[in-house]
Chain A
Amino acid sequence: MAFRYESGRTLGAFKIFLLLILVVGAIGGYIAWDRGFREHPQPDWVRATPEMRFKYGSLGAENDAGIPYWIFYVLPRMFPEKLPGPGGYASLGVPWEEGQELPVGFTKKTIGFPRVANNCAVCHTATYRTKPDEAAVFVVASPGHTTDVEGFFRFLIDCAKDPRFNADNLMSEINLVTKLDLIDKMLYRFFVIPITKKRLLERETQFAWIYRKDFPDWGRGRDDAMNLTKYFMTKQPMDDTFGPTDMPSIWNLQKYKPEQGMFMNFAGDSHDPYSVIMDSALGLLGAAPAHKQDFLDQVAWLHEYLTKLPAPKYPFPVDAAKADAGKELFAQNCAACHASARTGTRIPLPEVGTDRNRLDSWNKNAAVIANKVVTDMGLTRKGLVEATLDGYIAAFLDGIWLRAPYLHNGSVPSLRDLLEPAAQRPKVFYRGYDVYDPVKAGFVTQGPEAERIGTRLDTAQKSNGNQGHEFGTNLAPGEKDALVEYLKTL
């Protein structure tokens, strides 16, 4: 009797103990899910208009590539010396609308805790001003000529490498700006901060080539797009290639007709707009999408939005008579490539003669692997062109006025400069200042403010050659001016 009594009591206590563990475990599990992983949709204002959605809508990159919001928030305050200048993230030239909590192209989403990631708009939104003393105009889907993408990558890595990047310092800085509850404080201190540090430190090896001293900086408005794809998506070993290119405009995608032999990207590396959007979005995610259907919906939406989005109109007056004369010159000198069946197709390198480094940064094998990676994610698109590519695409010229600097590598500051023989084009200039020069048709690239804000591009450095495309360079100066006047109307 006694034994049974005793054992019954033990069993009872054990059951209670077990139950307690289960309850505590369940509560703990719930808290862990709620504060660590529970997804909340972005607030409604984000999708209030298509333009807002393009600028601030999440692609789902917060899951794997997201930076915890409060870490993102305090880093510029803790490590201002690792930024190019005063102004926090604004010093990286990111387009940033006044009144907005985050720059354009930065998305905030709560997955357990608020996180910040990027979308297409960070590289595809331009600002311009018609004079220094005025507010900038923001143009979505245009080349993000001000954004220093490389600077942003480096900033995060450099912060993580700094010994001051630790839970004590970050928490004391975070406590100055917000009141986290005890659970969030613990979560930040013991998980979020150490994991973020580890993740960012891993990037140092992944990004090793952007620290190479023999490669120039990408500078504002450029990224080494194919190497990013090659090293991150296809995990190819690093080679010695280097081919940063201008951020392209991505409006009016309906002009691309793959069925007529047109290809996308500077070298015609991709088959169609849908593939480019998907691959670029995957680049931002840095991993397979956590929610495939949401991802596909967002890609489809972007495709539809960008297909019909028109190029912006030139904001200064145009001399109509001069433009008319220029139209004639355009027909004689430019139309054969830029307004013909050749437009959107690949022009062999010997014919166009521009810098070849971008071509060398990609290869057939990489395309094959990249296509397989995407297919293995269960995603379907026509994808990258599995061939050796030997030239650059003859560009459509819609909205060409806002697509400065020119050539695929952004090595020529203005349209007027592009009409000069390579030897007479500027050898050194500054990119990323957003005051427009209506005379030369391009941004202001010289002078104290352009030099203070912009990043220096030296055409003698690797991949920065401004040679080639010496078409129309023999026209008389007056003819060149007229041609530029016409180009403003496109």
Chain B
Amino acid sequence: MTPYNDAPQNVRWRRRFFVLLLLIVVPLVAVALYLFQRFGGDTPVDYASSEEQFKYGSTGGEHEMGFPYWIWRALPQVCAEYLPGPGYESLGMIFEPGKDVPVGTSRRRYQGVDRVFLNCAVCHTSTVRTEKAKAPMVISGMPANNFDIMGFQKFFFACAADPRFRKEYVMAEIDRLGGNLDLLDREVVYPVAIAIMRERVLTLAGRFDWIHREPAWGPGRVDTFNSAKVIFNFPMDVLPPQELSAPADFPSIWNQRPRQGMNLHWDGNNSVVEERNKSAAFGTGTTPPTIDTARIKRVEDWLLDAKPPKFPFPVDAGLSAKGGALYQQYCAECHGASGSDFSGASVGKVTPIAAIATDRRRLDSYTTELAVNQSTLYAGYPWRFTHFRKTFGYANMPLDGLWLRGPYLHNGSVPSLRDLLEPAAARPKVFYRGNNLYDPMRVGFVSNVPEEDGKLYFEFDTKLPGNSNVGHEGKAYGTELSADDKSALVEYLKTF
């Protein structure tokens, strides 16, 4: 124990200690760094073009509701019998060339997992064929006439409740699809994600249990505000019956700038575009803490001035001019001076239900109780909702891109403009929705074909609750015009 021997031994031990420390710390740091890099990010996929961003960009909904990419891809095969046909296409989702996810879905890498969920375009983009054999055009901002959102929900609810929603089945399908997952994804991330998704979807399924007791909405429609009640976990089984069965057509969403301040939504229950947008974004899985406001703003800005495409068939100028005069006389006060000039004393205002007399279920589905609860949404944020109001009628809409907005009325109960100019008794009682073939004569989509190449269209029965095609009729609504005048008016409306 002389000082001589002491020092080197000390040094030796110190060296050993440091080596040991390095051996422990370095791998730990490396693992931590790797895990941080692997699980730390939050990166959505963005697009240069605003329209692409609208169709494929993120609202932030993937944070809470996003399906891990490969689960999203695998489920249509794993649970194929819960779909009407092969793949998400069978629910009316649109796949564009070169894209592996449909229009209306976005991708985001969050917590180390590529996730997929919905965005605005899923309900506000559709396709049109001008001829039976021609390829359809994809049109952003028009109502998603062919998207069956109830079918979409039921598919996931049924699949999550199915014993095959387990890693054994899902992972096998991912392999078959060429998922090529690495060890960590295969052994940890995806098995955990499958369990979590199953639980999330089943929770949601419980809250949406009421849709199984509802008549099918069919493609192009959603029960907007009964779905909104789910946000607050209202006990749907004790809702008064008059509030239920209130499906409404998806609206077109072009030209939002001139709509600011109008009574928005079919019943006009909100007058602020941004608030309405954030409200709709709940449908894409967003929550106040996880919404991607910057990306929503980008889409929002684009929609301010987005324009509908022109009517792609010839228009008879003379007939249209005659129709223009009738339009000014009968329609302009409520629906605006033209398809681009929305001025008019009653445009964007609510017409009382007794006057408009259309199916009142959508109106009754929206209650004061819901409105006041909505004013708690985004509490603590500067954009807390403050503009939701119970109304007592339906709002008068501007008619931009009207030709793409069939079937007509808030519940999509009248297949074409020409039919809408008939008194309710003469409107089709049963017709077919979901066809994207256009009928330029009646102005609307072909609605008398039940089936095409094995694809069944949706039978819309106007006798079912929420589907009534009455109202918007009488002298003031043009249903008493002569047949020639009606044709002229329809010709003019093609120019909108």
Contacts and interface: CB of A to CB of B under 8 A. Distances in A.
A175 B290 CA distance: 10
Interface stretch (A74-82, A376-384, A456-464): A74-82
Given A98-B368, A177-B287, A178-B289, A90 B235 contact: no
A98 B369 contact: no
Contact of A178 (B371, B375, B380): B380
B379 A101 contact: yes
A284 B368 CA distance: 27
B368 A86 contact: no
Given A73-B379, A87-B367, A88-B232, A98 B240 contact: no
A176 interface: yes
Interface in B265-318: 287-289
Given A134-B392, A178-B289, A77 B232 contact: yes
A177 B288 contact: yes
Contact of B373 (A88, A133, A136, A178): A88
A99 interface: yes
Given A81-B235, A87-B370, A99-B388, A177 B379 contact: yes
A465 interface: no
B361 to A, nearest CB: 14
Specify the main secondary structure of chain A where it touches its partner: loop
A99 B369 CA distance: 12
Contacts of A178: 288-289, 379-380
Contacts of B229: 86
Interface in A56-82: 73, 76-78, 80-81
Contacts of B371: 98
A175 B289 contact: yes
B372 interface: yes
Interface residues of B, number: 33
B384 interface: yes
Contact of B369 (A91, A100, A102): A91
A372 to B, nearest CB: 42
Given A88-B369, A134-B392, A101 B234 contact: no
Interface string B353-373: 100000000000001111111
B368 A88 contact: no
A101 B384 contact: yes
B390 A86 contact: no
Contacts of A85: 235, 238
Contacts of B236: 86
Nearest to A103: B372
A37 to B, nearest CB: 20
B129 interface: no
Interface string B218-237: 00000000000100111110
B369 A77 contact: no
Contacts of A136: 368
Given A86-B234, A88-B373, A135 B390 contact: yes
B289 A100 contact: no
Interface string B25-57: 000000000000000000000000000000000
Contacts of B387: 99
What 3 A-B pairs are tightest by C-beta distance, nearest first?
Answer: A87-B369, A86-B234, A179-B289
Interface of B: 64, 229, 232-236, 238-240, 287-289, 352-353, 367-373, 375-376, 379-380, 384, 386-390, 392
